[in-house]
Amino acid sequence: MAKLKVEVITGERVVYEADDVDMVIAPGAEGALGILPRHAPLISLLSMGEMRIRKGNDEQSLAVFGGFIEVANNVVRVLADTAERAEEIDLARAEEARQRAQARLQQRTAEIDRARAEAAFRRSLIRLQVARKRRARQGMGSGASGPIEGQG
Amino acid sequence: MPQAVTPREIRRRIRSIRNTAQITRAMEMVAASKMRRAQQQVVSARPYAERIRLMIGDLAAMTSPAEEIRTFPLLAKRPIRRVQVILITSDRGLAGALNTNLIRRAVEFMTHERPEPLENFDIVAVGRKGRDWLVRYGWPMVAEFTRLSDNPTIEAIRPIAEIATTDFINGKVDAVFVIYMHFINTLRQEPRVLQLLPIEPPEEVGEIADYIFEPSPAAVLQALLPRFIEVQLYRALLEAVASEHSARMVAMRNATQNALDLVDELTLTYNKARQAQITREVSEIAAGANALGSVQA
């Protein structure tokens, strides 16, 4: 069966690259996009959210924040404004950011601040979701419940 | 050769020049490693930039000129009365003729190449050296960005892109140019002028003509254009950083070489002076002995 080649790139670097992917689920601007091999050529805007990359039984998550996705000839190219792999996300920092944003949302502040706080809140939630999923999967694999030690 | 210089003074000078050579050599190494990093950054920024370029080229070819003006203000060409110039210089000196060349190019551009009178330029200074120069000679500066990092992120250039875009859309300026040092290789850099706005869509390749677009081709193009501005600015800044460090590396290498040449020369002078002193002392002793001898005789 045909496989997908997947590239996630930002203005600064290549964040993710693989060429034996079975399925990609990306946060399209018009709703989630599921992409299987032999998908029709497509260019879509991305919103912010979790991007899932499935290889057999293995699934990896990335946090992507806006940009574009391009699909053609079994190549999925994501041109993200910002993108982070699960293992790059600092869980403690994301949690801190969430609390900060939440505190700011509870105060009565100017409209523009509110919009910024909301965006920050959403970003932190996505980061937490992506990072926690990875932790849960690793916990399952090793059977340990304590903090994960530097694996990958 | 001035007789007044004693061997001891020469020795002191040799020591101080050796110290200078050590410092310039260390600066050369630092610049070399920073240059390599900047070059790497230029390379890793390339795939994204190329893809954005291609998509803009193809999508712009699908829109008519009338649509361009109505729905894509960033593509709109209009008569140019006021011009914004983003001048990218380095924060620090000791980089040879780098900033001088950049400023000379900017002056040439504003006084010879553009027909607009000087008061119709708004200059955005990126880098302390350019800022200082503009302030000293009273050029019309509207914004300044200094102390950007040696490994800039896209985030760092967003405020600069923001100023250019807002001023262009509001009609404050009718064109925006970037002047930066283009990195050719370690020994050669060249000041370049890049038109940032209005966006000149790149050549169309026709690669994405029959795609499905979500939500629509126009919406995708609309979202791509600001990214394109950022990508171009980011690239110019990375090139500028690579150029700065390679210029400094070469300048410091020359400085080290000059210092070592000077040490060689001074060592020779020192030896001569020492020999002259010995000869003088010997002849004084001999003369003294002679004088004594002739008294005794």
Residue range B134-153, pLDDT digits in tens = 999 999 999 999 999 888 89
- Residue A119 tokens, joined: 């965006």
User: Can you give the pTM of this predicted structure?
Assistant: 0.84
Pick the CATH number of A4-86 from 2.60.15.10, 2.30.40.10, 1.25.40.10, 3.30.70.260: 2.60.15.10
Interval B2-47: pLDDT, tens: 555 788 899 999 999 999 999 999 999 999 999 999 999 999 998 9
**Distance (Å) from the C-alpha of residue A96 to the closest C-alpha of chain B?**
21
Domains in chain A: boundaries: 4-86, 89-140
Provide mean pLDDT across the span A59-85. Answer: 94
The whole-number pLDDT of residue A151 equals 41
Taking only Cα atoms into account, the Rg of chain A, rounded to an integer number of angstroms, comes to 17
| Helices marked H in B95-174 | 98-108, 128-136, 154-169
Highest mean pLDDT: which range of A18-27, A107-116, B283-292: A18-27
Pairing label, strands B121-126, B141-145:
parallel
Provide mean pLDDT across the span A15-39. Answer: 94
Asked, colleague to colleague, whether A4-86 and A89-140 share their fold, the answer is: no
| Helices marked H in B72-196 | 98-108, 128-136, 154-169
Residue of B nearest to A13 (CA): B44
Cβ–Cβ contact B142 with A under 8 A? no
Residue B124 in contact with residue B84, Cβ under 8 Å? yes
| Dist. CA B74–CA B58, nearest whole Å | 16
Cβ–Cβ contact A68 with B under 8 A? yes
**Distance (Å) from the C-alpha of residue B214 to the closest C-alpha of chain A?**
4
Best B211, B235, B241 residue to mutate vs chain A (most A CBs within 10 Å): B211
The minimal CB distance from B223 to the residues A30, A42, A45 is found for A45
Q: Do A42 and B55 touch (CB under 8 A)?
A: no
Residue B218: is its pLDDT beyond 70? yes
The whole-number pLDDT of residue A146 equals 42
The whole-number pLDDT of residue A142 equals 44
Say which DSSP state B246 is in.
H
Cβ–Cβ contact B138 with A under 8 A? no
Q: Do A11 and B214 touch (CB under 8 A)?
A: no
Cβ–Cβ contact B12 with A under 8 A? no
Q: Do B55 and A43 touch (CB under 8 A)?
A: yes
- Sequence-separated (6 or more) residues with CB below 8 Å from residue B209: B58, B62
Class of the domain covering A89-140: mainly alpha
Say which DSSP state A142 is in.
H
Least confidently predicted of A2-11, A44-53, A101-110, B117-126: A101-110
| Dist. CA A4–CA A37, nearest whole Å | 6
Residue of A nearest to B233 (CA): A11
Interface predicted TM-score of the whole assembly (ipTM), two decimals: 0.80
Domains, chain B, in order of start with CATH, read 24-252 (3.40.1380.10)
The minimal CB distance from B219 to the residues A12, A13, A45 is found for A45
Q: Please report residues of B whose CB lies closer than 8 A to that of A10.
A: 48, 154
Cβ–Cβ contact A39 with B under 8 A? no
Taking only residues 163 to 192 of chain B, the set having a beta carbon closer than 8 angstroms to any beta carbon of chain A reads none
Residue of B nearest to A14 (CA): B44
